[in-house]
Amino acid sequence: MNWLDLRYLGIVGRKGRIPTWFNFIKNNFLSSPFSSLLLPLYFINSSFTLASPCLLDPTVKDYSFYPQWAINFNSATQTLSVGRVCITYKKQDSAIMSHWLPKSAIKQRCNSEKCFFNVILSETVGYPTRNAKVFAAYLPITLSTSWSYVTSLALAHLSKPSLSTFSTLSSPLKDKTNDIVLPLSVQSLYTDGSFHVTTDSSLASMTSAWLALDDDGLILESSSLQLFSCLPSALRSEIYAVVLGLNALSRGSSISIHTDCSQLISLWKRFVDVPFSPKLLREHNYLLWLSIRHLIMDRDLKVDLIKVPAHGDDIYNMQVDSLAKDVHSSFPPNISPLAFCYASCLLLFNSLPIDMNIHHFLRSIADARALLSFCSLARFTALGSPSLFDWAGIYFCLSQIKGFASHKNGRPEFWIFRIKLLLDMLPTLTTLQQRKPYLYSPDWLCPQCNSAPEDLNHL
């Protein structure tokens, strides 16, 4: 989408210039600066749009002259036309439309003054714009949104795909867990997750487990699974356990979920117990929270969360904790992380879902590219192998610029000194001899000892 479209939708402000981060996305994540298609590394479902299509005003009476900006898709010729619907005939499913020529967001009337044609009303949608008045027939007009954005909205609305996104995304998970369908007699679920951090001998590992109990406290079913380590964390394994447990429930179940994770209960109140808010899309693990919301709504579940003491005397919590820990030693997972996503929009990078704030993700990629360029500087490669440097520590120091600049001693020159020290840019005699050989003789030595060249190692 263009910046003009984002302004029309109210996603960004209407004043100011286009920010640097938006230009960075256009230059680095699109197939070309003049295209709206992402690179193959990224993927967005074709059925996803950021806004609902703009429909024609249904209150306008038939045979009344009431011009409305619209876009028509001719299914017979597979062509799009833009113009103004002047008169509608709802019973005949037709309308009379004037033809305008699309040029980005600028529309110009067709050269023929009598360029009106009949269109099918069911193949016509409104053109989202604010400044819709035409003051002179021969003058072009600039509308609020671009041609590419409006055509994507129209095609998404008029094509009406038959398969829902949920069914296509959730099929791998159904293939994996369809053999477990809990009866309506299940009253309680105990869930737990386990997370092992990366060590020198092993990679990060996430597992989840759940126990299903009836009202007499009898264990009806249990399940444990080693998860794909995409954005691994302890909280993520706990959320996964809830998703897997809800997926095994029958439609119309009333369940109490027992967990020892206080953070899970706190986030549940923010993201599940309240109406949907777009702010959820800025949070970590938002795809899993959307999956929980979808399962509850689609299966008409009634769910309560109950906090149990961690490492207490609850025998069921101890058992589910043991299940989650034991599965770490099993074979690596053979299912895709996409199998756990019930979301209408999935952003993928290298076939992995981006389950975090997309702005932060793009910023991390930009930082990684900048660090790679920094590591490739000739001043470092001339010193030896890249393994000689602690790049993680160097990146941490470089990312703390604001912290150094706002230090309580008010001395940002301390940060400047460190950068020059890191880049070997201090004005030592050897550096000055390289910069200005006509002023500093190459035969000069350290003025303090007069026995060796004055370089950084000598200092």
Q: How far is Cα 368 from Cα 392, in angstroms, rounded to an integer?
A: 11
Residue 345 confidence (pLDDT) above 80: no
pLDDT of 79 reads 86
More confidently predicted of 368 and 294: 294
Q: Tell me whether residue 190 is exposed, middle or buried, using C-beta atoms within 10 angstroms of its C-beta: 0 to 12, 13 to 18, 19 or more.
A: buried
Task: Express each pLDDT in 4-62 by its tens digit.
Answer: 777 776 777 878 888 877 777 777 777 776 666 666 666 555 444 445 667 788 888 88
pLDDT of 179 reads 59
Residues 6+ apart with CB under 8 A from 103: 140, 147
* Mean local confidence (pLDDT), 359-371: 80
β-bridge mates for residue 88, sequence order: 95
Q: How far is Cα 204 from Cα 278, in angstroms, rounded to an integer?
A: 31
β-bridge mates for residue 74, sequence order: 79
Task: Express each pLDDT in 145-155 by its tens digit.
Answer: 777 777 777 77
Residue 350 Ramachandran class (φ > 0 left, ψ -120 to 50 alpha, else beta)? left
pLDDT of 168 reads 37
User: What type of residue sits at position 95?
Assistant: A
Strands (E), 2-115: 42-43, 68-74, 79-89, 94-103, 106-109
Residue 131 confidence (pLDDT) above 80: no
pLDDT of 106 reads 65
* Mean local confidence (pLDDT), 236-249: 92
- Model confidence at 403, pLDDT cuts 50, 70, 90, reads very low
pLDDT of 191 reads 94
User: What type of residue sits at position 436?
Assistant: K
Average pLDDT, the chain: 79
Task: Express each pLDDT in 154-210 by its tens digit.
Answer: 777 776 543 343 333 444 444 444 457 888 888 999 999 999 888 877 888 899 999
Looking at the chain, the whole-number percentage of residues with pLDDT higher than 70 is 79
User: What type of residue sits at position 11?
Assistant: I
Residue with tokens 């912290």: 403
More confidently predicted of 328 and 334: 328
Task: Express each pLDDT in 305-333 by its tens digit.
Answer: 999 988 888 899 999 999 999 988 887 77
